[in-house]
Amino acid sequence: MVREVTFEDLDSMLELYLFLHEKTIPEHDEHLAEIWEKILTDEDYHLIVNEVDGKIVSSCTCIIIPNLTWNVRPYAFVENVVTHEDYRKCGYARACLDYAKSVAQGADCYKIFLMTGAKDAETLGFYEHAGYNSGDKTGFIQWL
């Protein structure tokens, strides 16, 4: 079942992110609680999950960004696409991306922007098969 996160999903999300790039689960402190509250209450922040038998197995983030160009239409930014290693190649991440696309369409976005740190052909092919391309724009990143 694809859905957006609820308050009770925090620990499951932190565990899933260990399959993305995190090495440890952060301490449950005031800062974590504040960030979780911001995520849950921001109407433009969509933390999408795919749940199988009560377990969150895949996720992505879709953020709607207001914009003054393209006839004042917003765009969406998709990030943190991840699937638990035991559930890969089953369509769970694709379902999350499809949900993100429907969120973006519902917000009248003119595009969805997705960045990945992956370099392997299989992952890049997955994104292309999901409808994304790497030929229209050039992405850069500056780490802070």
CATH number at residue 91: 3.40.630.30
- Domain coverage including residue 55: 2-130
Higher pLDDT, 97 or 141: 97
| 135 within domain boundaries | no
Closest CA to 41 of 1, 7, 79, 10: 7
| 28 within domain boundaries | yes
Between 20-24, 81-85, 97-101, the lowest mean confidence (pLDDT) is in 20-24
| 143 within domain boundaries | no
| 55 within domain boundaries | yes
The mean pLDDT of 36-45, rounded to a whole number, is 98
Residue 140: what pLDDT? Answer: 84
d(CA 126, CA 116): 11
| 53 within domain boundaries | yes
pLDDT in tens, 65-78: 999 999 999 999 99
pTM: 0.92
Alpha carbon distances (Å) from 6 to 44, 63, 66, 108, 136: 15, 16, 24, 24, 35
Closest CA to 64 of 93, 102, 91, 17: 102
The mean pLDDT of 69-96, rounded to a whole number, is 97
Residue pointed to by tokens 């239409």: 73
Residue 138: what pLDDT? Answer: 80
Q: How confident is the model at residue 116 (pLDDT cuts 50, 70, 90)?
A: confident
Total tally of structural domains belonging to the chain = 1
| 139 within domain boundaries | no
Using the predicted structure, report yes or no on whether residue 98 has a pLDDT greater than 90.
yes
Reading the block at residue 16, the tokens are: 């899933």
β-pairing verdict for 75-83 and 112-114: parallel
